[in-house]
């Protein structure tokens, strides 16, 4: 982790951003970065020179800057006092008119996935650099007015080692050995600026006049080459579809997709140079669902080129204008024009619960107008609400408006605010105008109010079947009342019969619905956004019905209803395991196994009356599925992953690791080998020497992370001290290893050895700000939370911490969410457990 600056930096407040935007207009950034020593392990810093040209209305303001050392700063040629730099801000006093600010500073490379992140590939020792300027990170690379509504063009000049390739937001070339000049970019928000520099392996192509590129570390070059055609085909198909839908061409020149190490997010939509986490270059066999996830991520980032990049939200309270649209359009385009036509079914398994659970937390917030008071607070709202819930509501908006009006409004929005900033009211205005243009004046008048109940009111309505009363009950969240109309499909089946699908509209607290003796699944196809759960009679009937359900989307809806019922304490773990055993033999979607089995392993089995017996049930079911599945299929892979993660027989695990006693068709590659080793470690059935030897045999980036995970999983005091040293900042490791250690140290069945760390977590977490910042700070709070300490005392400690004055807001937010989850698990244990 990077060392903190002399004094903590301050996150930009919305009020400050509003005042600065009214004062300034930024014309251009010229940034020179000297990375020429960046291929030496001992190098920790780089040189940054920024020239900013802007106009001012006249008055006091500040430029954002987080250097190791500030050498000089000149405003209109006059030297500024560098000692006035405080908490990441250099004060400026401006007169009305044009100005030029020149800042020369030394910056620090980071290893937390933000700023200019530098990573050493353990496979070959080569070093790589990439820029992640999101939120408060840009000022640790160059001086800037760091807010989304002060967009400006950028010109970058980079000096780098001669063996390196440099890619950025605009096309560039190497003008002499080690010297790269990038063209002037289109106007960009500061958080979009990036630079990807290093000895990358690069694949190039062209489509429809757009130069395409892919890059990854040299040690995974063969794997990138193997994936390149699939990735490039997806890119071509998505460009063609977005151009068809919007009639506005991609406006940012080249389109490079860089797969970079130790990346915090799934990807970042930087115009011209999108960055992805490099596990998305597959170095081991993966399921079809994982390939769909990569495809929708590619499409999601491409959608951002219009939703977010061409038109950028004025402030983070409208981040849904970025993420909800990219989520919706990414899934839609993937399903419509690529080989992954089942993308929406994947989305049901992968994203629905993420959004529903987030929307039930105490920290829930509206999709639009989330109230982000500063950039740090806004970062926590990049969650299942802004992505999954927002995308679901946009599907409803599309259904109500009709595709022609929906797209016409979007195109008008892009045209009116091209390369500028906008708000939700601007978009609503474009949709209202599109409705009027279509002769639908009455709909245009009603649209803002009806949409507000969905977009600006937090929390999901619960819709439950009251079988005896013959009604569907709609219950809004007590703290967030709303009057929302839901139109959705219902799947119902008579005993011994098959599913029949019908449409219902719920427009009040009670809506008549005669279920009779039928099993009833509400909203299985995600037509609305609501918390729906099967009643007791339906759960019982599903034992027979689920194995006879041949619609993968309907099965996904069934599992989402069951997962919601469990989360809210309405499903006995024993019933959940019964249904897992009933459904797995006929399941043909590896997504179902990939998401349902970890849920059963991580939540259901540990909270059951007999955790060991429940774990054994999951193991038998997944192993039987792996043995029955088509040899070599991704369905078999998903089943075997579950079997390996649930095995309690260390002799069997060791045999599998040696390539013996495997189901026909299963081959143990790097990922499976480490899955087996991590499970052996959790059982205490492998030594540290063996884990070290496995890392030495294949010293890849993936191996290094899984080695950390395995060491932290060992059931002894040394293992937990190993993990805790990373939390405490005593040992500095990259972000992936940090999170792996935290996630792995807390394991069910190891409560005796982790008990000393329960109180330490709550005592020491506030001090984590001395070692971590930004994205990683919040992730550390979650990864190290003692979720296995199912005891009222843990709840008491968490409540005390949340109430503590001065606790960092991002830490408080994550602890609040973890506390909510802990209390729900305790409730399940109290109701159904031993």
The CATH number covering residue 331 comes to 1.10.390.10
Domain end call among 162, 177, 198: 198
Dihedral angle computed from the Cα positions of residues 74, 75, 79 and 82, in that order, rounded to the nearest 10 degrees: -70
pLDDT in tens, 592-628: 999 999 999 999 999 999 999 999 999 999 999 999 9
pLDDT band at 2 (very low <50, low <70, confident <90, very high): very low
Please say whether the beta carbons of 578 and 543 come within 8 A. Answer: yes
Q: What is the pLDDT of residue 448?
A: 79
pTM of the model: 0.96
Residue 49 pLDDT exceeds 90: yes
Name residue, tokens 């109500």.
400
Q: Is residue 639 part of a domain?
A: no
Mean pLDDT of 316-327: 94
Residue 115: which domain range? Answer: 1-198
Domain end call among 435, 455, 475: 455
pLDDT band at 834 (very low <50, low <70, confident <90, very high): low
Q: What is the pLDDT of residue 783?
A: 98
Q: Is residue 664 part of a domain?
A: no
Q: Is residue 77 part of a domain?
A: yes
Pairwise CA distance, residues 820 & 654, whole Å: 38
Listing DSSP states for 292-341 in one string gives HHHHHHHHHHHHHTTBTTTEEESSGGGTHHHHHHHHHHHHHHHHHHSS-T
- Same domain flag for 26 and 175: yes
Residue 475 pLDDT exceeds 70: yes
DSSP-based three-state secondary structure for 628: helix
Task: Using alpha carbons, list the distances in angstroms from residue 285 to 282, 589, 631, 634, 790.
Answer: 7, 16, 13, 8, 36
CATH of the domain at 153: 2.60.40.1730
Mean pLDDT of all residues in the chain? 96
Name residue, tokens 């399941």.
587
DSSP-based three-state secondary structure for 525: coil
Q: Is residue 569 part of a domain?
A: no
Mean pLDDT of 649-677: 97
Pairwise CA distance, residues 710 & 262, whole Å: 18
Positive or negative torsion for Cα 235, 239, 242, 245: negative
pLDDT in tens, 260-312: 999 999 999 999 999 999 999 999 999 999 999 999 999 999 999 999 999 99
Q: What is the pLDDT of residue 4?
A: 31
Pairwise CA distance, residues 185 & 193, whole Å: 10
Beta strands 255-260 and 210-216: pairing type?
A: parallel
Of 353 and 369, the one with more pLDDT: 353
Mean pLDDT of 212-239: 98
Q: Which residues are part of the catalytic machinery?
A: 301
Residues 6+ apart with CB under 8 A from 257: 212, 213, 214, 215, 231, 235, 274, 276, 298, 301
Q: What is the pLDDT of residue 354?
A: 97
**Where is average pLDDT lowest: 115-124, 364-373, 491-500?**
364-373
- Same domain flag for 331 and 185: no
Q: Is residue 438 part of a domain?
A: yes
pLDDT band at 381 (very low <50, low <70, confident <90, very high): confident
Mean pLDDT of 63-81: 98
Residue 641 pLDDT exceeds 90: yes
Q: What is the pLDDT of residue 453?
A: 80
Structure tokens at 643: 């079997």
Q: Is residue 111 part of a domain?
A: yes
- Same domain flag for 320 and 450: yes
pLDDT band at 5 (very low <50, low <70, confident <90, very high): very low
pLDDT in tens, 705-762: 999 999 999 999 999 999 999 999 999 999 999 999 999 999 999 999 999 999 999 9
Residue 372 pLDDT exceeds 90: no
Mark 183-209 as b/e (b = at least 16 C-beta within 10 Å): bebbbbbbbbbbbbbbbbbebebeeee
Instruction: Please work out, in degrees rounded to the nearest 5, the angle formed at the alpha carbon of residue 121 by the alpha carbons of 115 and 122.
Output: 135
pLDDT band at 371 (very low <50, low <70, confident <90, very high): confident
Convert 79-108 into a string of H (helix), E (strand) and C (coil).
ECCHHHCECCEEEEEECCEEEEEEEEEEEE
- DSSP 8-class letter at 418: T
pLDDT band at 8 (very low <50, low <70, confident <90, very high): low
pLDDT in tens, 776-801: 999 999 999 999 999 999 999 999 99
pLDDT band at 420 (very low <50, low <70, confident <90, very high): very high
- Same domain flag for 325 and 179: no
Closest alpha carbon to 383 in 283, 437, 295, 316:
316
Q: Is residue 829 part of a domain?
A: no
- Same domain flag for 6 and 135: yes
Pairwise CA distance, residues 782 & 786, whole Å: 9
Beta strands 195-198 and 165-168: pairing type?
A: antiparallel
Q: What is the pLDDT of residue 580?
A: 98
pLDDT in tens, 575-592: 999 999 999 999 999 999
Domain end call among 455, 480, 509: 455
Q: By percentage, how much of the chain surpasses pLDDT 70?
A: 99
Structure tokens at 16: 């400050």
Q: Is residue 710 part of a domain?
A: no
Structure tokens at 428: 């609503």
pLDDT in tens, 512-551: 999 999 999 999 999 999 999 999 999 999 999 999 999 9
Total number of domains in the chain:
2
Pairwise CA distance, residues 422 & 416, whole Å: 9
């Amino acid at each position: 982790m990077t060392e903190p600056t002399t004094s903590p930096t301050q996150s930009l407040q919305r009020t400050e951003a509003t005042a600065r935007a009214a004062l300034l207009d930024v014309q251009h950034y010229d940034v020179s970065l000297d990375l020429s020593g960046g291929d030496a392990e001992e190098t920790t810093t780089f040189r940054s020179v920024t020239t900013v040209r802007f106009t001012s209305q006249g008055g006091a303001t500040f430029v954002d800057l987080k250097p190791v050392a500030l050498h000089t700063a000149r405003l209109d040629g006059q030297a500024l006092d560098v000692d006035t730099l405080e908490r990441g801000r250099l004060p400026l006093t401006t007169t009305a008119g044009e100005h030029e600010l020149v800042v020369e500073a030394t910056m620090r490379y980071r290893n937390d996935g933000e700023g200019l992140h530098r990573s050493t590939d353990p496979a070959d020792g080569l070093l790589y650099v990439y820029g992640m300027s999101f939120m408060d990170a840009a000022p640790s690379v160059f001086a800037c007015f760091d807010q989304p509504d002060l967009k400006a063009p950028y010109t970058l000049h980079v000096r780098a080692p001669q063996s390196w390739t440099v890619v950025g937001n605009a096309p560039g070339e190497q003008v002499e050995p080690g010297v790269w000049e990038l063209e002037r970019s289109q106007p960009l928000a500061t958080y979009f600026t990036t630079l990807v520099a290093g000895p990358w392996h690069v694949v190039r192509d062209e489509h429809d006049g757009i130069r395409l590129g892919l890059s990854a570390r040299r040690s995974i070059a063969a794997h990138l080459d193997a994936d390149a055609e699939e990735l490039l085909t997806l890119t071509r198909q998505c460009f063609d579809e977005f151009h068809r839908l919007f009639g506005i061409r991609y406006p940012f020149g080249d389109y490079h997709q860089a797969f970079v190490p130790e990346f915090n997010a799934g990807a970042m939509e930087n115009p011209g140079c999108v960055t992805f986490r490099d596990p998305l270059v597959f170095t081991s066999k993966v399921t079809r669902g994982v390939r769909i996830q990569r495809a929708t991520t590619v499409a999601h980032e491409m959608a951002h080129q219009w939703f977010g990049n061409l038109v950028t939200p004025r402030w983070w309270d409208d981040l849904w204008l970025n993420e909800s649209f990219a989520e919706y359009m990414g899934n839609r385009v993937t399903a419509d024009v690529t080989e992954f036509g089942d993308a929406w079914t994947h989305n049901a398994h992968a994203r629905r619960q993420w959004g529903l659970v987030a929307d039930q937390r105490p920290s829930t917030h509206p999709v639009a107008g989330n109230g982000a008071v500063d950039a740090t607070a806004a970062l926590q709202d990049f969650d299942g609400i802004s992505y999954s819930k927002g995308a679901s509501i946009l599907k409803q908006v599309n259904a109500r408006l009709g595709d022609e009006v929906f797209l016409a409004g979007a195109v008008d929005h892009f045209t009116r605010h091209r390369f500028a900033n906008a708000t939700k009211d601007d978009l609503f205005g474009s949709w209202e105008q599109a409705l009027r243009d279509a002769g639908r004046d009455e709909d245009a008048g009603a649209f803002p109010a009806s949409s507000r109940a969905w977009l600006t009111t937090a929390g999901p309505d619960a819709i439950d079947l009251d079988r005896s009363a013959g009604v569907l009950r709609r219950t809004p969240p007590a703290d967030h009342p709303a009057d929302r109309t839901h139109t959705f499909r219902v799947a119902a089946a008579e005993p011994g019969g098959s599913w029949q699908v019908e449409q219902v509209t719920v427009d009040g607290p009670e809506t008549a619905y005669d279920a009779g003796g039928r099993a009833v699944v509400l909203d299985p196809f995600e037509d609305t956004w609501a918390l729906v759960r099967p009643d007791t009679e339906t759960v019982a009937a599903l034992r027979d019905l689920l194995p006879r359900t041949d619609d993968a989307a309907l099965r996904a809806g069934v599992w989402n209803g069951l997962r919601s019922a469990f989360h809210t304490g309405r499903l006995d773990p024993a019933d959940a395991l019964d249904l897992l055993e009933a459904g797995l033999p006929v399941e043909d979607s590896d997504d179902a196994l990939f998401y349902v089995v970890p849920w059963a392993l991580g939540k259901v089995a540990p909270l059951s009356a007999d955790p060991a017996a429940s774990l054994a049930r999951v193991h038998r079911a997944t192993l039987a599925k792996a043995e029955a599945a088509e040899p070599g299929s991704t369905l078999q892979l998903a089943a075997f992953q579950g079997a390996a993660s649930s095995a309690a027989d260390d002799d069997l695990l060791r045999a599998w690791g040696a390539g013996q006693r495997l189901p026909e068709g299963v081959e143990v590659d790097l990922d499976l080998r480490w899955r087996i080793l991590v499970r052996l470690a959790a059982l205490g059935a492998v030594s540290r020497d063996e884990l070290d030897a496995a890392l030495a045999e294949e010293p890849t980036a993936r191996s290094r992370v899984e080695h950390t995970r395995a060491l932290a999983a060992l059931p002894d005091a040394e293992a937990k001290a190993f993990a805790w040293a990373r939390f405490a900042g005593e040992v500095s490791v990259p972000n992936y290893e940090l999170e792996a250690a935290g996630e792995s140290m807390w394991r069910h069945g190891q409560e005796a050895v982790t008990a000393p760390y329960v109180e330490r977590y709550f005592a020491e977490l506030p001090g984590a700000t001395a070692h971590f910042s930004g994205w990683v700070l919040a992730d550390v709070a979650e990864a190290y939370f003692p979720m296995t300490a199912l005891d009222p005392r843990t709840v008491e400690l968490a409540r005390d911490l949340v109430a503590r004055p001065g606790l960092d807001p991002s830490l408080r937010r994550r602890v609040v969410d973890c506390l909510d989850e802990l209390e729900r698990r305790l409730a399940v244990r109290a109701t159904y457990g031993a």
